[in-house]
A and B are shown apart, each in its own frame.
Chain A
Amino acid sequence: MALRLISLLALVVLWQVAAHFANPRLLPGPLVVFATMKSEAASGALFAALGITLARVAAAFVLAMAAGTAIGYAMGRSALFDRAADPWIIVLLNLPALVIIVLAYIWVGLNEAAAIGAVALNKLPVTVVTIREGVRALDAKLDEMARVFGFSRTKRLVHVVAPQLAPYFAAATRAGLSLVWKIVLVVELMGRPNGVGFEINTAFQLFDVPLLLAYALPFTAIMLIIEMLMVQPFERHVSRWRPRAA
């Protein structure tokens, strides 16, 4: 924890040093950005943008994780479904995020459903592939044990399958959160009248780098906190049974 703080602090110091030598219009120092952040926070604009973007991230993330886990589980369990759905997943994986976003806005319209749907669709194939790997790695011997001892379907899912999938779920969550929030900004930049992405677009039009950083950095900080307070404790909880390495 202490090491992490020192590492973060070093980054800020490096930034300050770099800003000292650079053109202040291109790279403002931390203090300038912090002052901009304060004024944006005082007007309430910063929090409104953060809130709406966070809501979009949450919606797209939950959608992609739920659908992706269900599809990935089915593909891992059924060879037939796997063969049938695999080409779709490969197409989705290789379709550029930008193409999905533009098509969603053209086909569905410039609305919230298109925005969140496009982000979820971008994240979906990664979740599917990760969970499918987890299902393929399920221990057949434990499954046999559960059958011999007459575990019910729910009991098998909760006590035999879910703990084996938890590390894969955590990996999908971690990779997913960062991917989702980056794509949400693009979606906002291209077709939403609010949110962090929209504010960054405005800053870009005005060539206002302090404003751009004043919106980008708090959001990065929020994602870092979510990772540290939610994702990592979840990982620790699900792996508490593993004998710790000395």
Chain B
Amino acid sequence: MSRVGDRARLEARVAKKSFRTASGQSVPVIADLSFALEEGETGALIGPSGCGKSTLMRILAGLDRDFEGAVHLPERGRVGMVFQEPRLLPWRSVEDNLRLAAPEASEAETAALFAALGLSEHRAHFPGELSIGLARRAALARAFAVRPTLLLLDEPFVSLDAPLARQLQRDLARLVESRGMTAVLVTHDVDEAIALADRIFVLSPRPAHVVGEIKVKNPRAAMSAEESQAVATRIEALRDAE
């Protein structure tokens, strides 16, 4: 089906993915969607809610194999994922949650991760004792602890208040850049996409396909307000064209 390119690339080609409704009808969710990321790049998938972004993430994560097409993960694909909800095991401490996912992570590594995400004092806490912001940090720490070659982020900051989301975005950007991994971010927040991604893929409403790809100037930190405004305008234009 798909051509085998550079093994380090992430390539996803979903020709068709549909769901069967209770009445037996087949509803297409994704049609002819393809995108690729070079090693170490962060890509953002941005699109209207319900367009099939989360379905696409489940396909990338290997949770859903019932589709037509092919996905090539970066070599020796070790996947770390942050779901829309933290999905921590409530009966294990923050530290145990991390160790269960990444048993081979060294003590120094986990300590550094906890420190980078402001979790050092919360290692022994159970997830139920954390605020939602801290729980999301713990979910991020777990995803990084497995030293992923592919990091999947499914609206990781949804339902957080804006200042907290910005803070976590900064922490996340630092970690992704310092550790060099390929990452896919699903979001409906244009600013979040510009702040984190090297490439932005704008998706159509259901059934989803890529309507446009925008390369964001690197390094992003050097980007002026006008430049990021220009990117945002292009994204809006692509969305409106649909």
Return chain A residues, CB-CB under 8 Å to B63: 144, 147-148
Residues from chain B with a CB closer than 8 A to the CB of A147 are: 62-63
Q: Which residues of A contact B83 (CB under 8 A)?
A: 141, 144-145
Given the known interface contacts A142-B89, A151-B100, the answer about A242 and B81 at a Cβ–Cβ threshold of 8 Å is: no
CA A147 – CA B81 in complex, angstroms? 11
Task: Among A141, A159, A238, A241, point to the contact of B87 (Cβ < 8 A).
Answer: A141
Given the known A-B contacts A145-B87, A163-B91, are A241 and B146 also in contact in the complex, defined by CB atoms under 8 Å?
A: no
Are A241 and B91 in contact, with the CB atoms below 8 A?
Answer: yes
Asked if A160 contacts B128 (CB within 8 A), the reply is no
Contact B90 A241 (CB under 8 A): yes
Tell me, yes or no, whether B92 is within 8 Å of chain A by CB. Answer: yes
Chain A residues with CB below 8 A from B100, complex form? 149, 151, 155, 159
Q: Are A148 and B61 neighbours in the complex by a CB distance under 8 Å?
A: yes
| Residues of chain A with a CB closer than 8 A to B102's CB | 149
Known contacts A241-B126, A243-B129; A163 and B89 CB within 8 A of each other? yes
* Contact count A vs B, C-beta below 8 Å: 49
Bound complex: CA of A238 vs CA of B129, how far in Å?
A: 16
With A148-B79, A159-B100: A242-B128 Cβ-Cβ less than 8 Å: yes
Highest count of chain A CB atoms <10 Å: which of B83, B89, B102, B152: B89
| B38 sits at the interface (CB 8 A) | no
Which of chain A's residues 220-243 have a Cβ closer than 8 Å to chain B? 238, 241-243
Closest to A242 in B: B128
Is B213 in the interface zone, CB < 8 Å from A? Answer: no
- Encoded as 1 (CB less than 8 Å from any A CB) or 0, chain B from 29 to 40 comes to 000000000000
**Which chain B residues lie closer than 8 Å to A141 at the CB level?**
83, 85, 87
Is B101 on the interface with A (CB-CB < 8 A)?
yes
* Bound-state Cα–Cα, A243 to B125, Å: 11
Query: Which residue numbers of B lie inside 8 Å of A, CB to CB?
Result: 58, 61-63, 79-81, 83, 85, 87, 89-92, 100-102, 126, 128-129, 142, 146, 152
The 10 closest A-B pairs by CB, nearest first: A149-B101, A163-B91, A241-B91, A145-B87, A241-B126, A243-B128, A148-B81, A148-B61, A144-B63, A141-B87
